[in-house]
């Protein structure tokens, strides 16, 4: 079973599984929102939501393997991950240590309850399309990194139906350079199969998270955010079983 497996007719069993998975997910979201309201302290809320993010995956029979947690620095860092599915943020929130602020696309603010939950666990929203707002949000990310926040960023900005790794935006890499903190590439495998971009119903599958060795922005080899982004992309592509959409190279 691979991320690029073609979407096939779900059938009755597949639809029933999808409905069940959504039901479990919705219950966990409600519980997470209640925790966000009741639980005091950002750290406690993050731990609570991290626990709840794992529950729907387990109840849906989705086995998750994570390797390389020892590669996360003891201090602050910026983690960058490939983006292939709507469940990517949930997967990382449930399996990475609850120390990170997640950088989320601004369109999520259209969903008030979800946006409230994300704000309560310290997530940051970024505008992708309006140039002035995008520049403002980039400055906020630089400030956040410089004041000691560890960030998780999906530098592709969005995902598409075509399997592969897209072009990286510069914000996360500029933040790592500005704050002089390690940049940690993260690979998510299996999410595209479980929740494809073109499908409403999730499918049963396996997830794998690989936390790769950090890249130090202070290395003279990285003169700017572009060279740092290229290094991170190559690290991810070496593990990710998908094409490089930026160059068109198949794997």
Please say whether the dihedral angle defined by the alpha carbons of residues 187, 189, 191 and 196, taken in this order, is positive or negative. positive
Residue labelled with tokens 């499908």: 199
Backbone torsion region of residue 36, taken as left when φ is above 0, otherwise alpha when ψ lies between -120 and 50, otherwise beta:
alpha
- Give domain 11-237's CATH superfamily: Glycerol-3-phosphate (1)-acyltransferase (3.40.1130.10)
Residue 66, φ and ψ in degrees, nearest 5: -125, 135
| Distance from the first to the final alpha carbon of the chain | 16
Cα dist from 236 to 7, 31, 125, 189, 223, whole Å: 24, 34, 24, 11, 20
Which tokens belong to 119? 């704000």
Is 2 or 29 the better-scoring residue by pLDDT? 29
Helices (H), the chain: 11-38, 42-59, 88-95, 112-120, 131-146, 171-179, 191-194, 225-237
At residue 243, the pLDDT reads: 92
Q: What is the pTM of this model?
A: 0.89
User: How much is the mean pLDDT over the chain?
Assistant: 89
75 close to 97: Cβ distance less than 8 angstroms = no
Three-class secondary structure of residue 200 per DSSP: coil
The number of C-alpha atoms within 13 Å of 48 and in the hemisphere containing its C-beta is: 22
Q: Check if the beta carbon of residue 121 is closer than 8 Å to that of residue 46.
A: yes
pLDDT tens column, 106-121: 888 888 999 999 999 9
Confidence of residue 44 (pLDDT cuts 50, 70, 90): very high
Closest CA to 190 of 152, 242, 130: 242
Phi, psi angle pair for 48, to nearest 5°: -65, -50
pLDDT score of 131 = 46
What is the per-residue pLDDT across 122-168, written as a single tens digit (0 to 9) for each?
999 887 655 455 566 677 788 888 888 999 999 998 888 889 999 99
Helical pair 131-146 and 171-179, crossing angle rounded to 10 deg: 30
- Token digits for 121? 């666990």
């Amino acid at each position: 079973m691979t991320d690029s497996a073609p979407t096939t007719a779900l059938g009755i069993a597949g639809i029933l599984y999808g409905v069940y998975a959504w039901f479990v997910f919705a219950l966990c979201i409600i519980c997470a929102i209640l925790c966000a309201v009741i639980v005091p302290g950002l750290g406690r809320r993050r731990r609570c939501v991290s626990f709840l993010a794992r529950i729907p995956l387990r109840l849906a029979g989705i086995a998750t393997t994570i390797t390389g947690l020892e590669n996360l620095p003891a201090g602050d860092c910026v983690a960058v991950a490939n983006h292939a599915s709507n469940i990517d943020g949930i997967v990382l929130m449930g399996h990475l240590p609850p120390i990170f602020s997640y950088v989320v696309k601004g369109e999520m603010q259209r969903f008030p309850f979800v946006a409230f939950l994300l704000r309560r666990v310290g997530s940051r929203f970024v505008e992708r399309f309006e140039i002035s707002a995008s520049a403002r949000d980039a400055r906020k990310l630089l400030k956040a990194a410089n004041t000691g926040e560890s960030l998780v960023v999906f530098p592709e900005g969005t995902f598409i139906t075509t399997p592969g790794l897209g072009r990286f935006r510069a914000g996360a890499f500029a933040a790592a350079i500005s704050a002089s903190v390690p940049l940690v590439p993260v690979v998510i495998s299996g999410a595209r199969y479980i929740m494809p971009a073109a499908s409403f119903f999730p499918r049963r599958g396996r997830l794998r998270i690989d936390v790769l060795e950090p890249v130090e922005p202070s290395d003279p080899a990285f003169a700017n955010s572009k060279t740092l982004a290229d290094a991170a992309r190559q690290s991810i592509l070496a593990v990710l079983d998908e094409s490089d959409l930026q160059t068109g190279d198949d794997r």
